[in-house]
Amino acid sequence: MKIELKNIKFSEALSEETNAFVCDVYVNGKKVAYAKNDGHGGSTFYHSYDGKQKIVNDAEKYCLSLPSIKNYGFEIKMDLELKIDLLFEEWLKEKEKTKLTKKLQKDSLKGICVKTENGYTLITWTGHTIETMLNNPQGKIVLKVKLRQLIKDGKEILNKNIPNDFF
């Protein structure tokens, strides 16, 4: 059984103890319910749309058959509410990943992006972008020297816009 969330509306501003969101719940490609969490630390509620209660009941039974979640030494029995919460958390992580990827792409145009424990750091040259450095003979030399030093120091370069022969 495939359970998905679509039409997700998330409000970080309204999220206090839990994430505040509303969404539609789809089961095997059919819109069957909506789900909602007010963000005040309470449960996520879901309600079937007219004529869809049987499909929601089947989804509830299916979720009860799934393995429990083990977290911090506790075991939490899977149910449809928990499944919705987990799917929402996946959506939130994917949204954040997409945001960080776009930021990395923009920053890669400005300078060298070097992987760090918590993301990356950006090395830039005042008044120069990677493109301007690649189009300038002196810039190419500076870029090659810096990249080779970073690699020698064991750093991982995240840029995809620098030719391989510079490394």
pLDDT, tens digit, 9 for 90 and up, residues 126-167? 999 999 999 999 999 999 999 999 999 999 999 999 998 888
pTM: 0.77
Per-residue confidence at 12, pLDDT binned at 50, 70, 90? confident
pLDDT above 70 covers what percent of the chain?
Answer: 100
- Other Cβ atoms less than 10 A from the Cβ of 28: the count is 12
